[in-house]
A and B are shown apart, each in its own frame.
Chain A
């Protein structure tokens, strides 16, 4: 008998009085809250910023006109000579001059990515209550590994549109068939005497830019 038949047989014998399978989980009490509090869009963005900061991400605010200068400064502060760029990153975000742009290519090896200094991406959405950014591999985010191997990640969130209050609000907006990466603060460990240390394997620095529409544009 195959392992599968054996396991399924054991389950059925273990549940002799189990009702017939009825698919969706209809009997679950879902009276928990959809969000913890009522917020204006601005309050939601402020809460996101506060929670990201608490988990040691560095938060900045800019509008579309200020963005290239801010990116230039953040990259320069890290001494970045090269920056990974997903294919769909809006070209006007990055300054014309600056670190060498490295495109996100399927053929590049992990070793090549390890030599890149920084990466700039957008995101799918952000969750204010938990201080979380979610990436779904969209054109402005690229493959999962590009936000993992370089030591510095700059993530741009369009506010307030891409910000939701809570985890229950986030899930219905995400497509589970895409690879999803939820990021709450930079990589961290508390394995040594529970002292928190940032960055063991993922980027040690996470800059988050809250991008508002420039005045006069939409």
Chain B
């Protein structure tokens, strides 16, 4: 996975740096709490939320069990509707396919809809290396791109920036990319949005090629679905002559009817709205309306390896709503950058080490970046048991065992005992140096107690295997820490 941020410090180090950043923490706290409270209200409006959640989980599990079948059906439907389907086993292959498709149009620039899959594979960098400029058109992604920065949240990637910082970035950078920001630009969000509108409109109107992801792909009909708020998605999806969508293979759903579940659960979980302002659905190409050429690039890049893990595969149900980030006490403190991947927060802690393997220090420490409080599981609209997967991955890091890498079954050696322990202890120290995060975790843990017996012994094993430590199951994390800390090390 080339989307790894090279030179990124592992989670604990990055997180420690982040928690020192007062601005970041203030922004994050306000933002996550605002979204969290609104979301709870939006969800409470639906009396059948639990049933929708169970249905969403069932659709995704069913699809994963028959993934080969549904992908072939999807390919057939897209092709019949005038589109072209490409298959990319890894990031390099996907980047090569997209680069060649853009080159074939003779264009040197593309407009982009916010897409985690293309961030994951480092598409912008690959296009740049091929002499093609890729413009992000989502307002937050634009802020990130102009700020030479990295996204820190799935839904609001520039959540770590405040209005004054954004004004400074616009003033300093817009001119280098196209229409400059007005010299008098202030920091009112309305003014900033207007500057972005004018800057980007110039690009939309002339763009000949667009690159997007998709939230869902319907196998039965070949229909692609993109949910958004601003209209930049609609601009990219309908104005250019050529549209290239790079989509993870796990995004397929069997039937058009299945959308009735996710169109109800995704907006409420992510932006706390009954429905997001714009949803675009398209099937292949339509004469006289929208792009004349449509290419779908189906991306594996570690997804089939994740599928091979019976406990871990549930991460592939994720619909990227970001609800788990907003309730996570660790994310709130550490911020998105600390996770060293395009997938931050609880979902990132289980997805990245599966997509990339646990070979690097950051990926080995990610499964420990949690209090196992269970709040992420409770909000997840497709019921991914994130704590269960975290514990499973901790065991893998500590004890090794069979895993699938690049489609090949291999046996992972146990991490050097000291390494595993260090990963655990560093992640723990982050939490324990910030009692607020820990308290939140404990409070929720009490509610999720039914999860505990199965989990904590597993988590404890990672430590006890390498050293004579007491198991953590019998006492609260904090008591354990208090004692651990008083022991000279």
A-to-B contact residues, CB < 8 Å: 2-4, 6-15, 18-19, 21-25, 27-33, 36, 51, 55, 106, 110-111, 114, 127, 129-132, 137, 143-145, 148, 167-168, 171-172, 176-195, 197, 199-203
B277 close to A186 (CB less than 8 A): yes
Residues of A within 8 A of B46 (CB): 33, 36
Given A7-B304, A192-B158, 14 more pairs with CB closer than 8 A:
A10-B300, A14-B313, A18-B65, A18-B66, A21-B66, A28-B59, A36-B45, A55-B273, A148-B234, A181-B278, A197-B193, A200-B197, A200-B232, A201-B201
Bound-state Cα–Cα, A18 to B201, Å: 48
Smallest beta-carbon distance B270→chain A, Å: 11
The answer to whether A194 and B35 have CB atoms under 8 Å apart is yes
Distance from A54 Cβ to chain B, minimum over Cβ atoms (Å): 9
Kindly name the residue among A13, A27, A187, A189 whose own CB sees the greatest number of chain B CB atoms within 10 A: A189
Cα distance A185–B218 when bound, in Å? 26
The contact sample of 30 A-B pairs, CB cut-off 8 A, is: A3-B93, A14-B308, A29-B58, A32-B48, A32-B55, A33-B46, A33-B51, A111-B205, A114-B205, A127-B275, A131-B275, A144-B290, A145-B238, A167-B260, A171-B256, A179-B290, A181-B234, A182-B278, A189-B229, A191-B140, A192-B166, A193-B27, A193-B162, A193-B189, A197-B190, A199-B197, A200-B196, A200-B230, A201-B200, A202-B230
B79 interface hit (Cβ, 8 Å): no
Contacts of A33 in B (CB 8 A): 46-48, 51
- Measured in the bound complex, the distance between the Cα atoms of B30 and A171 in whole Å is 37
Residues of B within 8 A of A23 (CB): 69
Q: For B409, list chain A residues within 8 Å (CB).
A: 13
Q: Report yes or no: A15 in contact with B205, Cβ–Cβ below 8 A.
A: no
Q: How far apart are the CA atoms of A131 and B45 in the complex, in Å? A: 14
Q: Which one of B81-89, B330-338, B359-367 contacts A?
A: B81-89
Task: Using known A-B contacts A21-B69, A33-B47, A144-B238, determine if residue A183 contacts B87 with beta carbons closer than 8 Å.
Answer: no
Whether A191 pairs with B304 at a CB distance below 8 angstroms is no
C-alpha spacing A29/B59, complex, angstroms = 9
Residues 130-171 of B, flagged 1 when their CB comes within 8 A of A and 0 if not, give 000000011110010000000000001011001100100000
The 7 closest A-B pairs by CB, nearest first: A202-B231, A21-B69, A201-B231, A10-B304, A14-B308, A3-B87, A182-B279
**Bound: A179/B224 CA distance, A:** 10
Contact of B279 among A172, A181, A201 (CB under 8 A): A181
Interface centre among A3, A27, A176 (most CB of B within 10 A): A176
Complex: chain A residue closest to B409, CB-CB: A13
Neighbouring B residues of A188 by C-beta, 8 Å: 229-230, 277
Q: In the complex, what residue of chain A is closest to B301 when comparing beta carbons?
A: A7
- B189–A195 touching, CB < 8 Å: yes
B17 within 8 A of A: no
B473 CB to closest chain A CB (Å) equals 32
Q: Please name all residues of chain A whose beta carbon is closer than 8 Å to the beta carbon of B239 when the two chains form the complex.
A: 110, 145
User: Which of B27, B65, B138, B140 gathers the greatest number of chain A CB atoms within 10 Å?
Assistant: B65
Contact-residue bracket for chain B: 35 or more
Among A8, A28, A202, the residue within 8 A (CB) of B71 is: A8
CB distance from B11 to the nearest CB of A (A): 26
Partner of A172, one of B229, B257, B264, B276: B257
Q: Which of B87, B234, B305 contacts A202 (CB 8 A)?
A: B234
Contact B221 A51 (CB under 8 A): no
Select one of A4, A132, A168, A185 contacting B87, CB under 8 A: A4
In Å, the complex CA distance between A6 and B304 comes to 10
* Residue pair B201, A192 in contact (C-beta under 8 Å): no
Query: Could you say which residues of chain A place their CB within 8 Å of the CB of B66?
Result: 18-19, 21-22
Assess whether B419 is interfacial by the CB under 8 Å rule.
Answer: no
CA distance A130 to B35 in the complex (A): 19
On chain A, the residues within 8 Å of B281 by CB distance are: 176, 179-182
Write out the residue numbers on chain B whose beta carbons fall within 8 Å of the beta carbon of A29.
51, 54-55, 58
Instruction: Give every chain B residue within 8 A of A131 (Cβ-Cβ).
Output: 274-275
B407 contacts partner chain A, Cβ-Cβ < 8 Å? yes
B193 CB to nearest A CB, Å: 4
Cα A9 to Cα B229 in complex, Å, equals 38
Residue of B whose beta carbon sits closest to that of A202: B231
- Alpha-carbon gap, A14 to B304, bound state (A): 7
B448 within 8 A of A: no
Shortest C-beta distance, A148 to chain B (Å), equals 5
B411 within 8 A of A: no
- Which residue of the partner chain A has the closest CB to B144? A191
Question: Is B464 located at the chain interface by the 8 A CB criterion?
Answer: no
A208 to chain B, nearest CB (A): 14
Task: Name the distance in Å between B201's Cβ and chain A's nearest Cβ.
Answer: 7
Q: Which residues of A contact B307 (CB under 8 A)?
A: 10-11, 14-15
Asked whether B192 is an interface residue with its Cβ less than 8 Å from the other chain, the reply is yes
